[in-house]
Amino acid sequence: MMEQLGLIGYPIKHSLSPWIHTKFLENTNFKGSYSIFEAREDDLLHLVQTMKDKGVRGFNVTIPFKQKIIPMLDELDPTAMKIGAVNTVLNHDGRLIGYNTDGIGFLRSLEISHPEVVDNKKIKILLVGAGGAARGIYYALKQAGYLSINITNRTIEKAELIVGRDKSACISLKDAERNLQEYDLIIQTTNVGMRPNEENSPLYLHNLKSTAIVSDIVYQPIWTKFLKEAEAKGAKVHHGYLMLLYQAQFAFEIWFGIVPPLNEMDKQLKQLLEG
Contact 125, 184 (CB under 8 A): yes
State how beta strands 75-76 and 88-92 pair.
unpaired
Query: Which residue, 18 or 131, has its beta carbon nearer to ligand ATR?
Result: 131
Per CB under 6 A, which region of 23-31, 104-112, 187-195, 208-216 contacts ligand ATR?
Answer: 187-195
Cα(38)–Cα(36) distance, rounded to whole angstroms? Answer: 6
Under the binding rule (CB under 6 A), the answer on residue 207 touching ligand ATR is no
- Among 18, 64, 84, 131, interactor with ligand ATR by CB under 6 A: 131
Under the binding rule (CB under 6 A), the answer on residue 133 touching ligand ATR is yes
Under the binding rule (CB under 6 A), the answer on residue 114 touching ligand ATR is no
Peptide linkage before 11 cis (omega within 30 of 0): yes
- CA 195 centroid distance within chain: 17
Under the binding rule (CB under 6 A), the answer on residue 240 touching ligand ATR is no
CB of 36 to ligand ATR, least distance (A): 19
User: Which DSSP category does 150 fall into?
Assistant: E
Per CB under 6 A, which region of 4-12, 76-84, 129-137, 267-275 contacts ligand ATR?
Answer: 129-137
Under the binding rule (CB under 6 A), the answer on residue 190 touching ligand ATR is yes
Instruction: Say how many C-beta atoms besides its own lie within 10 A of residue 152's C-beta.
Output: 26
Cα(67)–Cα(149) distance, rounded to whole angstroms? Answer: 25
- Among 155, 210, 263, 271, interactor with ligand ATR by CB under 6 A: 155
233 counts as catalytic: no
Exactly one of 52, 54, 66, 142 is catalytic; name it: 66
Closest listed residue to residue 71, CA positions, set 96, 91, 103: 96
- Specify the amino acid at residue 129: G
Residue ranges binding ligand ATR (CB under 6 A) = 129-134, 153-155, 158, 189-192, 202
**Which residues are part of the catalytic machinery?**
66
